[in-house]
Amino acid sequence: MSNNRNIRFSLREVRRQGGFSMVEIMVGITVSMILMTGVIQLFVGNKQTYRFHEALARIQENGRFSLEMVSNNIRMAGFTGCPLSGTVENVLNNTGAWTGVDWWKNFQTGWPGSLVGYDGTQVHPGVAFDSVHVARRIQDTDAITILGGSGGYSIDPTSVIPTFKLMQLNRPNGGTLGLGNLVIVCNTQNTSLFQVSNTPSATVPVAHAATGNPGNSTAALVSSYVTQSSMVDYAPTAFYVGLSVSGTTRSLYQLQLQVTSTGVASMVAQELLEGVENMQIFYGVGTNGIVTQYLDATNVPSWSYSSTTPSVLSVRIHLLVSSQNENNLVNQPQTYIFPNDTGDSATMGRTVLAADRRLYQVFSTTIGIRNRLQ
């Protein structure tokens, strides 16, 4: 009898401890889905915020670096290490008009071409238009070339011309002066550009024989140097926007002078920063160190510098930098203000609606050319 009572008691306990009903299960699932949806949305939102701020930081870093690189070179256009003089002797082979393929060799009297700009439809002599191949220039983006020196070497006053004994061969940024390097030697009256024809050392002076590539047309320098003379590396360069190495976006490129171990000098394209979509440049023209107007490259009256006639004294640069391949960073295509290729030199530019949802930022600066603002 007692066993039957225990069985009935156990059955009642089982009934009281039965599983969830269907309604309870559905309610639990619904609540779980709501919570999971919230967690997912929070995760997605945080990830999107992270992507946005990471892209913004990269854009700002690239923009500042790009402006710094271009500005430093423009600021030093025409630099020789000495005051401007009326005579520049260029003994390099194959020199000619600065519009030709040898533009980088043509540092001439009066500094014609020490700074030359090219509007988006003007052909640059050093790089062709091509939107398909890497490192070629994109049409409707501006380009600029700068000629001048960089760094510096102290010449021992005991030197016996035509060679130059240097106090040091090391460059401030690393490396040493060697065979095939192009250098500018100058004093307060004269300036000469030539290619080093030997391997200088502490006991071997710098020579300039009529050899090498491009080589010197003559071994003799007309001008006399030694007392209070200085020497700097010749550093021609150009900046433009071209198809990136990745092939998916655009980059800022620099044409730099490169010298092989055998002494052959040539200009080589180097990708500086990916994500630079466009570059527009305007030139401050004036006289006596005072800029009176900014013009497109096509309207600059003369690229030769003169203190008494309208010349380029400063350069205003606008760079458009994107988030590269990081698309869908903004909810809708961004609107930004950026100049037209021509006609916007006196204005801030035009309003542009982006074609995608990448992040864009415009960087602008104005650089004075030191040698022309004395």
Distance of CA 121 to the CA centre of its chain: 20
Residues of the chain with pLDDT under 50: none
CA–CA gap between residue 175 and residue 205 (Å, rounded): 17
pLDDT of residue 159: 80
Mean pLDDT for the chain? 84
Whole-prediction pTM: 0.85
pLDDT of residue 13: 58
pLDDT of residue 336: 93
Residue tagged 């309208």 (tokens):
310
pLDDT of residue 258: 94
Contact 191, 184 (CB under 8 A): yes
Q: Which residues pair with 367 in a beta bridge?
A: 315
pLDDT of residue 15: 54
Nearest 5°: the CA angle 124, 66, 374 is 80
Residue tagged 């106090």 (tokens):
167
pLDDT of residue 109: 60
Q: What is the DSSP letter of 211?
A: -
Query: Residue 73: how many CB atoms within 10 A of its CB?
Result: 23
| 104-163 residue pLDDT tens | 988 876 555 689 999 999 999 889 999 899 999 999 999 999 999 988 888 888 887 778
Query: Residue 67: how many CB atoms within 10 A of its CB?
Result: 18
Contact 332, 308 (CB under 8 A): no
pLDDT of residue 117: 94
Q: Is 340 exposed, middle or buried (0-12, 13-18, 19+ CB in 10 A)?
A: middle
Query: Residue 98: how many CB atoms within 10 A of its CB?
Result: 21
Pairing type for strands 265-274 and 290-295 reads unpaired
Contact 191, 82 (CB under 8 A): yes
pLDDT of residue 273: 92
Q: Which two tokens stand for residue 314?
A: 């400063």
Nearest 5°: the CA angle 299, 287, 345 is 35
Residue of 285, 355, 361, 351 whose CA lies nearest to 322: 361
Stated length of the chain: 374
CA–CA gap between residue 126 and residue 234 (Å, rounded): 17
Task: Report the amino acid identity of residue 116.
Answer: V
Q: Sign of the CA dihedral 235, 239, 243, 248?
A: positive
CA–CA gap between residue 82 and residue 374 (Å, rounded): 13
